Amino acid sequence: MEDKGVYFSEADLERQIYFKDETILSEVGHFHDSMEFVFMLEGEIEARHLGEVQRLRAGEIFFVGSFEYHCYKKCTPQIRAIVLVLSREYTKVFEESFRGLTLPTYMKKADKNRETIGLIRHWLEEEGENKTYLCNFGYSTLLFSKLIRHYPLTPIIEGKDKRVTVKVLKYINEHYTEDISLAEVARESGYTKEYCSKIFRDIVGIRFRSYLNLLRLRKAKEYFAEQKRTGATALEIIYKCGFSSTATFYRAQKEAREKNINF
């Protein structure tokens, strides 16, 4: 799941868990039905949640609920964090027990988080054969119980901007190989071009064209990683990902690298 830039469909597979000690976090925005946690261990990042951006340091926790757009930006040369993504099978007890409520997005009480992060480290260190569904379910339930002890729950807000963001990004995810424009995305999504432009500016944080190119670059990266197995040429991969020429591909790549964006 590293560096994905749109809807993480694989994050929503039955009993799916993504659990890893990371030194790179995705700077390309994404969303999924599953809940995501980032437990900061070292360094500092900016975490974007919908239209809000805050800095997170070692000992702090970032939480994302269902279908909420989010991404990360490194603020120090080195970072380290444990990333945990839980499908609904592991979150249903929490959701059913506290209907209409959710955890706060930014949990910054480092002293209160110490015990929780210790639990996460212990869970991560469990041997593979011990990580059964029941084991993971138990740890995830204990995680929620520790967090709600220190942080008051807040009402889930289902605003129009959130719904539109998901709808627009899903459309781009399905049509990124085509020659699409913001006007087309707006028309097919049922909103004005101006409103969709506002969504990219205020929620996604980058222009439509930049987002589209980052998605295409990320897909190209996947295809290039499989190039030896598939035998596809570089030109075939570039065209398959929606770039109109090698020049547009290298220009998009150069722009992302100049902005130090992981794709």
Enumerate domains of the chain plus CATH numbers. 9-155 (2.60.120.280), 160-258 (1.10.10.60)
Radius of gyration of the chain, Cα coordinates, nearest whole angstrom: 19
- At residue 61, the pLDDT reads 98
Q: Cα(150)–Cα(254) distance, rounded to whole angstroms?
A: 44
CB neighbours of 68 closer than 8 A, spacing ≥ 6? Answer: 31, 49, 50, 162
- Flag residues of the chain having pLDDT under 70: 1-14, 130, 262-263
Distance, C-alpha 244 to centroid of its chain:
27
Q: Cα(195)–Cα(186) distance, rounded to whole angstroms?
A: 8
Question: Identity (one letter) of the amino acid at 129?
Answer: E
The DSSP call for residue 59 is T
CB neighbours of 103 closer than 8 A, spacing ≥ 6? Answer: 63, 65, 144, 147, 148, 151, 153, 154
pLDDT tens, residue by residue, 164-218: 888 888 888 889 999 999 999 999 989 999 999 998 888 787 889 998 998 899 8
Question: Identity (one letter) of the amino acid at 24?
Answer: I
Q: Cα(169)–Cα(174) distance, rounded to whole angstroms?
A: 9
Q: Cα(126)–Cα(100) distance, rounded to whole angstroms?
A: 33
C-alpha distance from residue 181 to each of 69, 138, 210, 211, 247 (Å): 21, 46, 12, 12, 19
pTM: 0.72
Alpha helices (runs of H) in the chain, residue ranges in sequence order: 88-97, 110-125, 133-150, 160-175, 182-189, 193-199, 208-225, 227-230, 234-240, 246-258
* CB atoms inside a 10 Å sphere around CB 177: 13
